[in-house]
Amino acid sequence: MALPYSYLAIEGNIGAGKTSLATALAKKHGARLVLEEFAENPFLPPFYENPDRYAFPLELSFLAERFSQLKNELANRNLFQSVVVSDYFINKSYIFARANLGADEFELFNQLFKIIESNLPKPDLLAYLYLPVEKLQENIKKRGRVYEQKIADQYLQNIEKSYFTFMKQHKKMRVVIIDTSDVDFVNNPADFLRMEELLSAPYKPGIHRVKA
């Protein structure tokens, strides 16, 4: 089956499997793969130790990095890789900033975000991978990034709430929320095919909820 969307963004909470799924889809379909470049962000490890101090510079730096990468990648598509699969989209910056910043800082951030957002195309399909917090924590521990090991359940719940609030406010987007609680699309080929099937379905604009 072919992916029917020319720009597919895979989103989800921390540890949901976004990068793994996006990478596998792009490899199978010969799509252009866009992965978030976060590993070198100097504000990320200290943010988890002192979020009040580092949240604003962290979110600003992520916004700049994401905009630069997406603008370059989406502008340089070629005929042989006409489909783009990404493990994030620019509104991730808004979603995390809303969860992490105080009211005054968020207001300033949002003014910058609106300017940047208007200069990028929106995904043809936004797929949100849902996992309960306990499974997110299992995945976070498995991948072993030191600075993530102290992430609290409440923080993951706040991020999830921010995603859902965003989606409810953007009902004209084409969004599918996939409950992946009972699948392992990384290690089980049948589960990957199920995810591929769900991401190839002809969704109308609006929010759709399905179970993998």
Query: Which pTM value belongs to this model?
Result: 0.93
As a whole number of angstroms, the distance between CA 6 and CA 32 comes to 10
**Going residue by residue through the chain (212 aa), what tens digit of pLDDT does each one get?**
788 999 999 999 999 999 999 999 999 999 999 999 876 789 999 999 999 999 999 999 999 999 999 998 887 766 556 799 999 999 999 999 999 999 999 999 999 999 999 999 999 999 999 999 999 999 999 998 888 998 999 999 999 999 999 999 998 999 999 999 999 999 999 999 999 999 999 999 999 999 99
What CATH superfamily is the domain 7-211? P-loop containing nucleotide triphosphate hydrolases (3.40.50.300)
What are phi and psi for residue 92, nearest 5 degrees? -55, -35
Q: Domain segments of the chain: what residues?
A: 7-211
> Position 173: which residue type?
M
Active site residue 87: yes
Of 52, 87, 179, 191, the catalytic one is 87
Q: Residue for token digits 């949002």?
A: 110
